[in-house]
Chain A
Amino acid sequence: MSEKISEDIKKLVIARLETLPADKKISIGSFGDYSKTELIASVNKGDKVGKKIIEIELEFLRALKEGIVQ
């Protein structure tokens, strides 16, 4: 079940990442700097950066649910 949810979340996160501006990069602390394409690859691989991006997305979804972000 958790694996299924994980795959669903992955798809959701990748869909979000696809819409990020292609001309920008993100600095994720000690992990380094990543382009949109590299982030998507990390989420697909499930590496540490990918897991961090998923964590950020889940926290955002919780904030939406709690009404912190309209």
Chain B
Amino acid sequence: MTKTYLLTRPEHDDTMHYLSNWSKGTIDAAKKAGIKVLDLNREKATKKEVEGRLKDLSPILVVLNGHGDENTVTGHQNEPIIIYGENEKLLKSKIVYAISCQSAKVLGQKSVDAGAISYNGYNDDFVFFYEPNMISKPLNDKTAQMFLEPSKIFIETLIKGNTVEEALKRAKDKLRSNINRLLVSSEADANMVRYLLWDLNHFVSRGNLNATI
């Protein structure tokens, strides 16, 4: 049976533009691995579209790029698409990664309680630096890369069939490696270390760490 990967990629502000572009590369990785991809980009990243795909096509891997809070992950134009107490049950039997603020704090555990295999994300705000003059070419932005490449590594490690635990380890190893590199750079860049450390400390997994897609 073909596995399915659902991802949301709203692009309505600079943060979403960067997250969308940095997760786009995982589409090709999934296709190469024989995984069917449901890419809900821009205005398709709505609650209605997400709920429909989750119900009808049962993706095993769900990646949500969006803003959020401890109970919610949003989509296009900040529409809440997964909401604790309303539709987190739709994540049942899925491995989820939410690249959004705070959602692992409450929604993550509640999703696991409702049957999600694993919920991965951030239990506080997710922060990253970027270079505004690179906004038209976000994948060439070396500053943003330090913060966003680890997320891509997390997804690609899962796509390759590794466990959630291994994906988390590789993503965090990359963050640590970036921290170490910055510590010996110029003072200006070295000051970004505290923000990488913040993302490292608040990147958490709920549910089954041994799960694979």
Contacts and interface: CB of A to CB of B under 8 A. Distances in A.
Interface of A: 16-17, 19-21, 23-33, 52, 56-57, 59-60, 63, 68-70
A27 B128 contact: yes
Q: Determine chain A's interface SS by DSSP, over half rule.
A: mixed
Interface stretch (B30-38, B84-92, B156-164, B192-200): B192-200
Contact of A27 (B15, B68, B102): B15
B49 interface: no
B127 A56 contact: yes
Contacts of A56: 127, 194-195, 198
Contacts of A29: 15, 67-68, 100-102, 125-127
Contacts of A17: 191
Given A19-B188, A27-B127, 11 more contacts: A16-B194, A21-B189, A28-B127, A33-B13, A52-B125, A56-B194, A56-B195, A57-B194, A59-B201, A63-B201, A69-B197
Contact of A26 (B69, B127, B183, B193): B127
Interface residues of B, number: 34
Contacts of B126: 29
A30 B194 contact: no
A7 B28 CA distance: 50
Contacts, number: 81
B15 A23 contact: no
B187 interface: yes
Nearest to B141: A24
Contact of A70 (B18, B67, B143, B183): B183
Contacts of A27: 14-15, 18, 127-130
Contact of A20 (B13, B131, B192): B192
Given A20-B192, A30-B68, A25 B197 contact: no
Contacts of A30: 67-69, 78, 101, 125
Given A29-B15, A69-B179, A69-B183, A24 B130 contact: yes
Given A33-B14, A59-B201, A69-B197, A23 B131 contact: yes
**Max chain B Cβ within 10 angstroms of own Cβ: one of A32, A63, A70:** A63
